[in-house]
Structure 1
Amino acid sequence: MTTTGQDAIGQDSIGQGAGGLPATGRLVDSHPLLARLTGQVVWNLAEEAGADDGECSLFMDHYAAWQGAALGVLERLRDAPGGGLRLVVDDEDRAGACPECVALHGVVLPGTHPDLAAWLPPFSIGCHCRAEYVEAAEMAVAGSNLPPTGLRPPAHRLCCPRRPLSLLLAQLQGHEE
């Protein structure tokens, strides 16, 4: 059944619900962390981390791209039922990632997972874990790779304990130079 909803940035779109995601409404509202992060909140967090106006603008650009990528994967999952999500921590990020996120690397969840929202990265601003969309055909052949029994998803919190905003700001400044 096709329903009218809104895409990752709140634009009207047509999509199909996929188990763990709502069939209608703003997709951002289904994410435990991103639903809480308005532009003003993100700007204030950067200021509290010591960023000046230029650094805040740089951080806002980074945040917008990061949020768009995360929500783009969820939008694709919602619009293509039968797919899933693969949790990934890239090789170059593993040393700086928290152990909870590293333990999730390679987990594949079906889009119909009943507790999908709890497992949705990013888990914080600066989180090294991300989700990739898994095509329905791959899910049909390979299936899920659920987390080991007893492994719980990290809590969704504002800032990563292993990558505070001051460190993230410094890393962004380093990429600009």
Structure 2
Amino acid sequence: MSTRPDGTWHHVSMTTGSVETEDAATEVQTELAARLRLVVGRLHRRIRIDGRESIPPLQLSALVTVEQHGPLRLSELARREAVTAPTMSRVLASLDEQGLVIRTPDPNDARGVRIVLSEDGAARLAEVRSHRTALVARRLVRLAEEDRQRIVAALPALEALLVEDD
């Protein structure tokens, strides 16, 4: 990519050797973003369907959030999961019923409780992760070695997409 004297930039395509204008490069970026979104979304959905987990997605997400950020108050967990407090209350009731979380008194508020992951909750998360990893591994085996190496090479860039914007 280089800047022209008029302030616009151009990009020489590595695949075609052609010069792309700013508008064409924006179109390429948009197409890349759409393709990436589609493949990641479909792969995630396929893993979820093939996994046949007994834990619904929001409950599973809440368990992961509690594992990563716990102990959490219900309101904080609801905020992190972008759901209402009543919705999170129902989710926690189900997780509590299954023995996957433990409600502990909040030392800073006698009326409040904090949610932590139970041993069963940690074991269930490990089981789900192991199963999903095995599902992806089976799909990777079907690829040619060259394609697997391309995925390995792309992982640092894909992981960089997970970094939050400042």
> The TM-score by the shorter chain falls in which range?
under 0.3
Larger radius of gyration: 2
TM-score under structure 2 length normalisation = 0.25
